[in-house]
Amino acid sequence: MNNMDKKRKPKMINFNLQKETDEQKILKFFANRLIQVANDPQVIWEITKNDNNPIKLDEQELKQVLELLKEKLKNQELSPQIYDQIIAAIERNP
């Protein structure tokens, strides 16, 4: 009996794995974008607070992005200084 005659075991499908939703992808994009522009408070303000920006984050989205940033901070994927810069830029007045 050679290898070709053996029946293959059916692969198990894990239905518990969840695909990332579009909303999660967008929130991750904004979190990463805020990290990239952490040294420019004006750009952070434009992304998060400027009413003239058509893709501005609403309050709920901003909370979710900040949660992602806190998670990155907790997992040491983000330095506290960058996190503090982002928070200060969000809270500032233009």
Find where tokens 């996190």 sit: 83
Its pTM stands at 0.72
Which is it for the CA torsion 65, 66, 69, 70, positive or negative? negative
Instruction: Report residue 39: phi and psi, to 5°.
Output: -85, 0
The full set of domain ranges for the chain reads 19-91
List, for residues 24-69, the tens digit of each pLDDT value: 899 999 999 999 999 999 999 888 888 898 888 889 999 999 999 9
What residues contact residue 49 under an 8 Å CB cut-off, 6+ apart? 56, 90, 94
The three-point CA angle 61-63-67 to 5° equals 115
In a 3-state reduction of DSSP, which class is residue 75?
Answer: coil
Which is it for the CA torsion 52, 57, 60, 66, positive or negative? negative
